[in-house]
Structure 1
């Protein structure tokens, strides 16, 4: 049984929806293509959890940050930039990276600001969780690594970041893979009231708007993250070791401040940085994305997310939507790594 309610806050300015779906557990499958993209040769099926770690994380100064990132594959290969969400980390892609590396890709998986070993270069820099700031970080990372363009793929905060990159800097994005589709929003959209059932799905956003919520997240960061994992992916049977590998990234000294600011900014309760004002004006128009795109949705995503029909028209280039079946939740790269990696290969197929 599925339940759908209006949810413009999650995506762009028009109507969107949230669906809470469950299905019998099984292997993920890609389905429901809306327009055809040529397919790359099929990847071998990788069981989720096959890999547990990356090579040692590298560091590079980029923009206002010193960014920690995992890397796999040949240095001269086409680049796949993989972006994690909240509250997750680079280990969401621990099974995806080897699949892409084996096909010749240089795979870059950065810790977003406020996660893992990524740190601010100056104590005076605003700890800004504004989505466009995170997208600008990724452009700065590409510049620092001399990467002209990349296939950009992500989920949750990572999908929103990838969407913004593709909309504002399309020349830097050779292709886009976005879980839950078009997630570009604005403060104006975030201020709009929703039906009560939709508001209920955002309970943590309201919690974070209070002093008690900030103190609670500071005190119970790991417990909070584990709860979100369970609610967002109700059929994902992750073990303690899997969670703890990612939870270490939340011990970043800026993690709580970045998280709280992100959600308060979305509701118009916190200001961003003036240097992003012009970009925010462009994003507030819900710009179309013209780069080749594959959007993905898990059939058991327990987090708020829009219906594919609400955002399909926002992708004006080569486009396809895929539904992953078999109880896949909010974190497809970790729950269905083969299907996610295949989408990266297919969107980059010329």
Structure 2
């Protein structure tokens, strides 16, 4: 594990593959961590990739550099963190890939800074939050699935997450991936990241802000306004759905209009934690984007 100062964070990250390999940035979700990609990474490094897996803000060894920085989990902050990490690594561009929070961060970075992103792999397609829409109700079946988001709107929810983070997160793993049964050691390896001292604050703020019920960090206000305009994704992208993912009933193939460059959508018979449940499929999506870019370079 390495650390690097990047923007407002000191980021902990794993770095695999040749130092001069083609760059890939893999971002994990909530409540997971970098180990979601343990079986994806060897498939990429075998093809010459240098793969960096950062612990997102509030997870694992990543820390805020200043006690005065807001412990925000808003989408503009997550996307900004990825671009700050590209700067710190001195990568002009990279393929970015992620799911859940990591997919959100990757989409935000791609939409706002397309010149820094060579290509995108995103589970749940155009995963930028429409906060105005989230102020209003969904179908009751989906509201039932996102019970944890409603819980986190209350101080009772903050207390529950703080006191029972492993039990709560284990429950989400089981509910979101109905046909995947990891052993306890697999869960424990990622659950160690939930002991970060900022985990509860960042998670609670993320979901309160996404519901329009908490103010954002003023540092990201202009970026949030741009995201509210639903900027398109203008780089080559492969998007993914888990057909058993209860958070995305019916999938996200209808997001295709938000992608203006070469784009392919794929459905995989797994739940929400796609890179850990189907690592070959996730790696293949990244390799497909790489092949598109390589072909474009030759023409």
What TM-score, normalized to structure 1? 0.82
Measured after TM superposition, the shift of residue 268 of structure 1 is: 1.2
* Root-mean-square deviation (Å): 1.1
In structure 2, the residue matched to 1:88 is 32
CA deviation string 1:159-179 (max 9, x = no partner): 111111110011111110001
Measured after TM superposition, the shift of residue 306 of structure 1 is: 6.2
* Separation of aligned partners in 2, 1:198 and 1:301: 11
* Separation of aligned partners in 1, 2:252 and 2:45: 30
- Give runs of ≥4 in structure 1 deviating > 3 Å: none
Specify the SS of the correspondent of 1:134: helix
CA deviation string 1:226-252 (max 9, x = no partner): 000000101001000000000000000
The answer to whether residue 139 in structure 2 is matched with residue 195 in structure 1 is: yes
* Separation of aligned partners in 2, 1:305 and 1:185: 16
The answer to whether residue 281 in structure 2 is matched with residue 339 in structure 1 is: yes
What TM-score, normalized to structure 2? 0.95
Give the alignment of 1:27-106 within 5 angstroms.
Answer: 57-106=1-50
* Separation of aligned partners in 2, 1:226 and 1:153: 24
Please list every run of 5 or more consecutive structure 1 residues that lacks an aligned counterpart in the other structure: 1-56
Measured after TM superposition, the shift of residue 299 of structure 1 is: 2.0
Report the structure, 1 or 2, having the larger helix content: 2
Please list every run of 5 or more consecutive structure 2 residues that lacks an aligned counterpart in the other structure: none
* Separation of aligned partners in 1, 2:288 and 2:65: 37
Measured after TM superposition, the shift of residue 209 of structure 1 is: 0.3
* Separation of aligned partners in 2, 1:259 and 1:183: 17
Give the alignment of 1:107-146 within 5 angstroms.
Answer: 107-146=51-90
* Separation of aligned partners in 1, 2:195 and 2:82: 21
The answer to whether residue 220 in structure 2 is matched with residue 272 in structure 1 is: no
* Separation of aligned partners in 2, 1:73 and 1:305: 36
The answer to whether residue 185 in structure 2 is matched with residue 241 in structure 1 is: yes
* Separation of aligned partners in 1, 2:184 and 2:51: 26
How many residue pairs were aligned? 292
Measured after TM superposition, the shift of residue 67 of structure 1 is: 0.1
